[in-house]
Amino acid sequence: MELDVDASERFLMKRLAGKVALVTGGARGIGAATAKVFAQHGAHVVIADILDDLGTNLAHSINGRYIHCDVSVEPDVESAINLAITWKGKLDVIFNNAGISGSDGSTTAIDMEQVKRVISVNLNGIIHGIKYAAKAMIKGGQGGSIICTSSSAAIMGGLGGHGYTSSKAAITGLVRSCACELGKEGIRVNCISPHGVPSEMLVSAYRRLLGQEEMGVEEVSKIVGERGSLLKGRAATVEDVANAAVFLASEESGFITGHNLVIDGGYTSGCSTMSFIYQ
């Protein structure tokens, strides 16, 4: 049987043509890279963030829309989804990506106020996104794709502070739970767990933990390439995560739900932990 298009032609196709997507935390880092790639694949993209200048400029560059949104504030997330619906009449994809790192340090010195803040953004923010995206998708009647950012810290100890790790581990359980409910509506719910991606958040963490305030993306990428991957010399990039999000947003992943897609170069399969997190 002959195929309509060969593999190379399929790669060049706009895999999200006509879809309406919301990206939280979309002004920089993984979120910004994903917003760009979504737009390149034909999606109409709404960027939701608290970094107004960056978000506005990026939205303008991709012919999208921007809205100020603190995902820990439930009405902010509802407003972001309403913007997508007002703009294009529907919501097909949400990438619940906004997150913060919180503090590191020993179990015996946990600051519960900081933990509450991390959970309010990293976990509650995703619950808000799933809640209102699901409402919109159910009303639209065409199903949809809900994607949430977790972390390698959710599946392997020693990779993040305790508050951060707790919030990210909870996301994987939440995704499975919501996938069980929303599947009957044709809504797929998945998460992505990146590792060692030299975004602004990771660079800041390395600066703090290693006491090297001048450390930049290149230095962090080198460390990850040498120690944070089974693919030696190959560091993660924000585009690696963005491309995974495109796959989960597209019809190519139409039979995948309740899944945690780990983007780690094999690290969690066979590498030791970075125990200096607790020192």
Q: How many CB atoms lie within 10 A of CB 2?
A: 4
Predicted TM-score (pTM) of this structure: 0.88
Neighbouring C-alpha atoms within 13 Å toward the C-beta of 210: 15
DSSP class of residue 89?
S
Q: Which of the following is catalytic: 132, 164, 206, 267?
A: 164
Active site annotation includes 267: no
**Quick check: 96 and 270 in contact, CB under 8 A?**
no
Domain edges within the chain: 15-196+238-264+274-278, 198-235
How far, in Å, are 60, 155, 174, 231 from residue 166 at the CA level?
A: 36, 11, 12, 28
**Topology adopted by domain 15-196+238-264+274-278:** Rossmann fold (3.40.50)
SS3 199: coil
Chain CA centroid to CA 116, Å: 20
pLDDT of the chain, 279 residues: tens digit per residue: 444 555 455 555 799 999 999 999 999 999 999 999 999 999 999 999 999 999 999 999 999 999 999 999 999 999 999 999 999 999 999 999 999 987 778 889 899 999 999 999 999 999 999 999 999 999 999 999 999 999 998 998 888 889 999 999 999 999 999 999 999 999 999 999 998 787 666 666 655 665 666 666 666 666 665 666 778 777 889 999 999 999 999 999 999 999 999 999 888 887 655 444 444
The H or E element spanning position 30 is helix 29-40
Q: Which of 20, 27, 87, 99 is nearest to 56 (CA)?
A: 27
